Structure 1
Amino acid sequence: MTFHKLAELVLKDSEIPLTISEIWEIAVNKGLDSKLNSKGKTPNATLGARLHVIARDNPKGIFKTVGRRPKRFYLSSKEYNIDFSEYEAGKTEEETKIITKNKSNYKYTERDLHHFLAHFAFYSLKSFTKTISHSKSEKKKFGEWVHPDMVGCEFPIDEWDDSVLKLSSSIGNTSIVLQSFEIKKELNLSTLREKFFQAVSNSSWANESYLVSAEISEDEEFRLELERLSSAFGIGVIHLDIFEPNNSKVILLPEYRENLDWETLNKLVQMNPDFKNFIKRIEIDLKSHEIRKEMYDKILEDEKLIKLIKNIS
């Protein structure tokens, strides 16, 4: 059973919208959890991330949401004899305190964003990430802006039959997607070009490249320039929502590069041990046809992510 089907079965029998915790509790009581085709250690967290992504990316799909803290899910095809406005107004919420979106009242570091990106990449891009420590790089040998903050790999292992994987490996075509991520706390017009070209400079080796930020200006001139640069250089843009992690999204798609830049890959392997270990890990996982999740960046649950953001108001 998929997480999608589990949620559908639970919501079908409910006369009110349910939170992720409520859906999971009912599923466990009904024994549906034992039928899941998943070996993850935190299936309730996986359920939450999957439903958030499905509801966000498929506005005409079967899952709808109402309210914010906590967000509740219901079926678009089911008729409900309730007042949905009460849920939207927060009158039925477990937590009525509204967290402001003014990020100046909160303190977080660029390093904190690595955890948010690892979560987003795992659930939305289906990739496993690895943080690359700049302090370990031989800058004197290769200069600055050579490698990104994080790298990722999207595997076909969960989707392909074992025989197909073996055949693709034997002919040198595993269909993995290597990703480059440059992370910034803020993107605005005054510093856009510098930050954007830093992403361009250290991402030529990858199939997909992204510039990632939690604070992205809404200024019209900035947005037009960001779109122009993204289109010209094939760099995607990801907005990380530090208050609602599952609302993070790709706002500009990257250009997919069919061929990897092997010369730059070789240089990065020589330059940084974290990058070298990342490449070795991919090779091992492809050969074993099993992804060792603990060897990549840890995926934190929503609640732990939000606790990284400190209120200083």
Structure 2
Amino acid sequence: MEKLSFLDLAKRLLTEQKRPLSSEEIWDLARQLGYDAQVGSRGKTPVRTLGARLYIDMRDNPASPFIKTGSRPVRFFLKNMPVPFELPLLQELPLDAKKGAEKRPVARGNFLEKDLYPLLSYFASLHLRVYTRTIRLSRTDNKDYGEWFHPDMVGCYFPMEEWQTDVYELNSTLGNTAVRFYSFELKRELNFANLRETFFQAVSNSSWANEGYLVAARISDDEEFISELGRLSATFGIGIIELNPNEPDASSIIFPAARTETLDWDVLNKMATINQDFHDFIKRVKTDIQSREIRKEWYDQIFSSEELQDLFR
């Protein structure tokens, strides 16, 4: 049986149907026609993965055959296909600013930092395969540590969801669970005015984790600023994520985080001692690893892309 990637699947169905389709419509048709069986390793949320792959290809691949049209829902189509009707709002996603292309889309509307938490949980789940837990400052016993000690959100990657059982068990027998911990420092926006403070806050808060990220919904597209942000990221290993409240699937990692294979257990223990949310997170991860069953309802709720857009209307 011919194997299809998500992008191959989308291209085939758009060619056959000769009309714009949303990611949900593409996947529904794939199931009806039996094409879904040809997509390998599609994970537990294939519709989300399909939508994300399309956005990423349009954003990062100058030769992408895809374009998007409309909104709520966004539908996808093929650049080279003639159509007998007018496509409203036909457009391509701009390339990433660091690649010297057009300006990235800027998050519109007024929102608070806390409003971005569900959007970050969605992104972490889809792109990093990470289960997140929001860490509330109000649950920190010693306020002297404050926001410079623990991040806004933490996360965990469980390889047992993707690995063959025998491989995972062998890995565990050898004393390495391959579980990875993530730290996320979240801000509404990043610019020269707050870069130093927010960046080194992220450095401070992520010293215990395998990967640390600084996350914002509005990131200055000033060329000098992006250059400095990239320099700091490369020097200190902190990744940069740009969220897009208006189009959640267009959120992206601007600069990847450097991964460390060791955890700082002293800092991790201190965090679990002073913050109940983090203590509960560590306890839950331990239980899930031991039981080999991830209790998804305990972690941050994952909304759909459409539900997230409703939150920012």
- Give the TM-score range, shorter chain: 0.7 to 0.9
Q: Structure 1 residue 142: deviation in Å?
A: 4.1
**TM-score of the pair, normalised by structure 1:** 0.81
| Larger CA deviation: 165-174 vs 229-238 | 165-174
Amino acid at match of 1:82: V
- Over 3 Å counting, the alpha-carbon distance change for 1:219 and 1:60 in structure 2 is closer
Q: Which residue of 2 aligns with 1:278?
A: 281
| Larger CA deviation: 258-267 vs 290-299 | 290-299
The secondary structure found in structure 2 opposite 1:65 is strand
Q: Which residue of 1 aligns with 2:87?
A: 87
Q: Structure 1 residue 6: deviation in Å?
A: 5.7
| Larger CA deviation: 134-143 vs 210-219 | 134-143
Q: Which residue of 1 aligns with 2:178?
A: 175
1:17 to 17, 20, 26: 20
Unaligned runs of 5+ in 1: 92-100
Unaligned runs of 5+ in 2: 92-104
Alpha-carbon separation, structure 1, partners of 2:13 and 2:114: 38
Q: Which residue of 1 aligns with 2:99?
A: none
Q: Which residue of 2 aligns with 1:255?
A: 258
Identity of aligned residues (%): 46
- Over 3 Å counting, the alpha-carbon distance change for 1:59 and 1:178 in structure 2 is farther
What is the root-mean-square deviation of aligned Cα atoms in Å?
3.1
Q: Structure 1 residue 281: deviation in Å?
A: 1.7
Q: Structure 1 residue 283: deviation in Å?
A: 1.6
Q: Structure 1 residue 220: deviation in Å?
A: 2.7
Amino acid at match of 2:122: H
> Residue deviations 1:180-219, cap 9 Å, x none?
0000001110111111111111110001100000011112
- Residue 66 of structure 1 contacts residue 88 of structure 1 at CA under 8 Å; is this kept in 2? no
- Residue 42 of structure 2 contacts residue 49 of structure 2 at CA under 8 Å; is this kept in 1? no
Alpha-carbon separation, structure 2, partners of 1:297 and 1:244: 20
Q: Structure 1 residue 264: deviation in Å?
A: 0.5
2:244 to 225, 241, 244: 241
Amino acid at match of 1:121: A
Alignment of 1:1-313 (within 5 A): 4=6, 7=10, 10-11=13-14, 13-27=16-30, 29-30=32-33, 44-45=47-48, 47-53=50-56, 56=59, 64-69=66-71, 70-74=73-77, 80-82=81-83, 86-87=86-87, 89-90=89-90, 103=107, 106-140=109-143, 142=145, 144-310=147-313
Q: Structure 1 residue 282: deviation in Å?
A: 1.6
Alpha-carbon separation, structure 2, partners of 1:38 and 1:293: 19
- Residue 3 of structure 1 contacts residue 50 of structure 1 at CA under 8 Å; is this kept in 2? no
- Residue 106 of structure 2 contacts residue 218 of structure 2 at CA under 8 Å; is this kept in 1? no
Alpha-carbon separation, structure 2, partners of 1:173 and 1:186: 38
> Residue deviations 1:111-162, cap 9 Å, x none?
1111111111111111111101110002246455110000111221222111
Q: Structure 1 residue 17: deviation in Å?
A: 3.5
Q: Which residue of 1 aligns with 2:98?
A: none
- Over 3 Å counting, the alpha-carbon distance change for 1:32 and 1:155 in structure 2 is same
| Larger CA deviation: 43-52 vs 279-288 | 43-52
Alpha-carbon separation, structure 2, partners of 1:148 and 1:134: 9
Alpha-carbon separation, structure 2, partners of 1:21 and 1:169: 37
The count of residues paired between Structure 1 and Structure 2 equals 295
- Residue 212 of structure 1 contacts residue 239 of structure 1 at CA under 8 Å; is this kept in 2? yes
- Over 3 Å counting, the alpha-carbon distance change for 1:145 and 1:2 in structure 2 is farther
Alpha-carbon separation, structure 1, partners of 2:38 and 2:221: 45
Q: Structure 1 residue 171: deviation in Å?
A: 2.5
- Residue 119 of structure 1 contacts residue 299 of structure 1 at CA under 8 Å; is this kept in 2? yes
- Over 3 Å counting, the alpha-carbon distance change for 1:233 and 1:34 in structure 2 is closer
- Residue 16 of structure 1 contacts residue 80 of structure 1 at CA under 8 Å; is this kept in 2? no
Q: Which residue of 2 aligns with 1:95?
A: none
Alpha-carbon separation, structure 1, partners of 2:37 and 2:297: 23
> Residue deviations 1:262-311, cap 9 Å, x none?
1101111111111111112222222222222211111111111111114x
